[in-house]
Amino acid sequence: MIQVNRVRNLPAAIRIDGGSKGPLGEGGFMSSDNRPLSPHLQVYRPQLTSVLSFLHRMTGVALTPGTLLLVYWLAAAAAGPEAFATAQALIGSIIGRVLLLGWSFALFYHLCNGIRHLFWDAGYGLELPDLYRSGWLMVFAACALTLGSWVLGYAMRSGAW
């Protein structure tokens, strides 16, 4: 019998181990009305690996409206001083800064986790201990890059450098 530690308490019908009978036994895997369902989000207890994976997609999707800001900023600079001043004021407003904070974290998160993905695609770091190590390292790096860029931004703004 397969041990599935990560599955929450579930009705017997969708237990992955299919009850006490073997795969082909009565009420086991293969009976048509009691087939094991593919484990999905609500079945698994969240783990670092799965949470980081969802976040990769979510930050990727969240970044696409962020491209509007990039294009708006460039177009405003191209349009002239007045349009650019308006853009800077919008981005510098409270709402603008909150959005920018979210987007900067999403950017650094997607970037750092994307590097993990590239290593996996090359066949490295796929063992479970490596996944956890690179996962925590990535979370730390994304937070550090976000914090670092904001510290740099505010330091430049106040003329510390």
Euclidean distance between the first and the last CA atom of the chain, given in angstroms as a whole number: 64
Each residue 16-55 as x (binds another protein by CB under 8 A) or -, in order, gives: ----------------------------------------
Is the Cα dihedral 146, 147, 151, 157 positive or negative?
positive
Residue 7, SS3?
Answer: strand
Does the protein bind another protein through residue 89 (CB under 8 A)? no
Does the protein bind another protein through residue 111 (CB under 8 A)? yes
- Exactly one of 117, 133, 137, 140 binds another protein (CB under 8 A); that residue is 117
Region for residue 31 given its phi and psi (left: phi exceeds 0; alpha: psi -120 to 50; beta: otherwise)? beta
Does the protein bind another protein through residue 157 (CB under 8 A)? yes
Phi, psi of 36 (to 5 degrees): -65, 135
Query: Please, are residues 39 and 16 in contact by the beta-carbon 8 Å criterion?
Result: yes
Contact positions vs another protein (CB under 8 A): 57, 60-61, 63-64, 67-68, 70-71, 74-75, 77-78, 80-81, 84-85, 92, 104, 107-108, 111, 114-115, 117-118, 121, 145, 149-150, 152-154, 156-157
